[in-house]
Structure 1
């Protein structure tokens, strides 16, 4: 099936960046912005995403619907889209693009959850692809990978001709989500542990000494933390659910879930601070890591 129009659910930080790449390379992108926030409208306009108003019109005009949503909203939106597809009676490809990003807030799904979403979509007669985005929004070529699995994944891979790096890893729904979940457990788990231990060192009066040692003996780690912790604070509220999702999956695999429930607790504390209340656009990118740790230390308490 030739692809001409891609429907974006929803044009947040990652969704609008993907749409911008597709638009730049000749595809039309659309969104249903009825009852959406001013920020979402602004992000869509900046990426030249066309507002078609309703979800029904989006399904009618799209060849592919690409969903990039937080976990809590994914199943509900899939049900809404499935109902529209059934009413419209259109054959369409639905791609669930749960995303893991170092720079922007996205979502993590357990493989079993994405299989449930696939059943919802396929019950409407549509086809489904499991896709996981690893890396920042694709504004710089070569930094963002989209892994895809499912029998129709090759059809989705056509978007590689329009500026995206899409890699098919299998025909089973859940493979792409499982890969991203494991990667998110590593990167976001490390960020949570590092944030807590740096706060602890600050409260012990040893933050300068600890950072000096890490910078000397673990320079690669120091570089990662200096980048990951500042970019984490405005999206900590989204990462609470991700860590809980990972914890439950690890438990089902016969592993301990407690590590990632602890990570969720760290992000729960951060989200209620002044830094956690900022949007990604509001974040001061010149703010030093030491200042961030001081603020988090001053504004967080655990019951």
Structure 2
């Protein structure tokens, strides 16, 4: 099928950046912004996303809907879109791009299909695609080849399988390493701060783990405003690993760390408000002191 308009659920930091790439390369994007926050409307306007008002209008206007939400919103959003598909009577593509467990994706697929839509399992690996060649979108499911058409419009789409759950499983394994490592590092650095071992640990890491320390200088500062989203992602990873007979506790603990961070002043900032000049040591001290 021809894809001329892409609906974005929702035009936040990631969804807005994806839409901006599509728009820059000639694809029309739309969003349903009725009752959305001023910040979401501002992000949509900055990305040049057209506001069509209601979700029903979004389904009418779209050939493809990209669901880019916090994990907890994935199923409710799919149900809302499915209802709109029924009301409109239009066969559209629905790509779930959320960081959720394969079993959850498999449970969402029939919701969309029963309404008359086609379902694609997709996962985003990398930051919001503001810089070329840093973000990949993996896709699986029988209609996944349709999503690959967005390569023409600037997105790096990679179809890996025709089975629903494969793309989401890949995301869970990848994020377990990247965001799991960030959670472990955040906890141990706060522990070192409270033990008054900051400088000694930094010196040792500079000597024996320089590449890792360089990574943490980048990953931890940018994590804090997103910690509230990563709680659910860690819970989804725990569920994924539990479903294949592994312990869930590792990533339940990582979720606890992100709950800890989201309640701090840094965790309550918006990504666009973050001061990129803050030093890692100062960030760790503030995270620690805010939760004493």
Q: Following the alignment from structure 1 to structure 2, what is the Cα–Cα distance between the partners of residues 201 and 159?
A: 46
Matched, 1:28 2:28: yes
Q: How big is the shift at 1:188?
A: 0.8
Task: Determine the structure 1 residue equivalent to 2:191.
Answer: 200
Q: What secondary structure, in the 3-state scheme, does the structure 2 residue paired with 1:30 have?
A: strand
String of CA shifts for 1:246-297, please: whole Å, max 9, x gaps: 1122122111111111111111111111111111111110000000111111
The residue that corresponds to 2:63 in the other structure is: 63
Choose which of 225, 242, 245 in structure 1 pairs with 2:233: 242
Provide Cα deviations, 1:120-145, integer angstroms capped at 9, x if missing partner: 10111110001101011111110000
Of 61-70 and 245-254, the range deviating more from structure 2: 245-254
* TM-score w.r.t. length of structure 2: 0.98
The answer for the alignment partner of 2:250 in structure 1 is 259
Q: Deviations over 1:4-26 (max 9, x none)?
A: 11111110111111111111111
Contact kept in structure 1, 2:169 and 2:240, CA below 8 Å: no
Does residue 11 of structure 1 match 2:8? no
CA contact (8 A) 2:127 2:134 kept: yes
Partner of 2:73 in structure 1?
73
Question: Using the alignment, how far apart are the partners of 1:38 and 1:63 within structure 2?
Answer: 26
Give the structure 2 partner of residue 165 of structure 1.
156
CA distance in 2, matches of 1:147, 1:134: 8
Alignment RMSD: 0.9
The structure 2 residue matched to 1:112, chosen from 103, 113, 117, is 103
Question: 1:84, 1:206 → 2: CA distance?
Answer: 56
SS of aligned partner of 1:123: helix
Report the alpha carbon displacement of residue 184 of structure 1 after superposing the two structures with TM: 0.6
Partner residue, 2:277? 286
Unaligned runs of 5+ in 1: 99-107
User: Secondary structure in 2 aligned to 1:82?
Assistant: helix
Q: Distance in 2 between matches of 1:277 and 1:191?
A: 18
Query: For residue 83 of structure 1, what is the aligned residue in structure 2?
Result: 83
Does residue 220 of structure 1 match 2:211? yes
* Aligned residue number for residue 270 of structure 1: 261
Q: Which runs of 5+ in 2 are unaligned?
A: none
Q: From 202, 221, 224, give the equivalent of 1:230.
A: 221
Between the aligned partners of 2:241 and 2:102, the Cα distance in structure 1 is: 11
Question: 1: distance between equivalents of 2:90 and 2:188?
Answer: 53
Aligned-partner Cα distance in 2 for 1:300–1:262? 17
CA distance in 2, matches of 1:186, 1:295: 25
Tell me, in whole angstroms, the C-alpha distance in 1 between the residues paired with 2:54 and 2:187. Answer: 43
Kindly report structure 1 stretches of 4+ aligned residues shifted beyond 4 Å. none
Aligned-partner Cα distance in 2 for 1:20–1:297: 36
Q: TM-score, normalised by structure 1?
A: 0.95
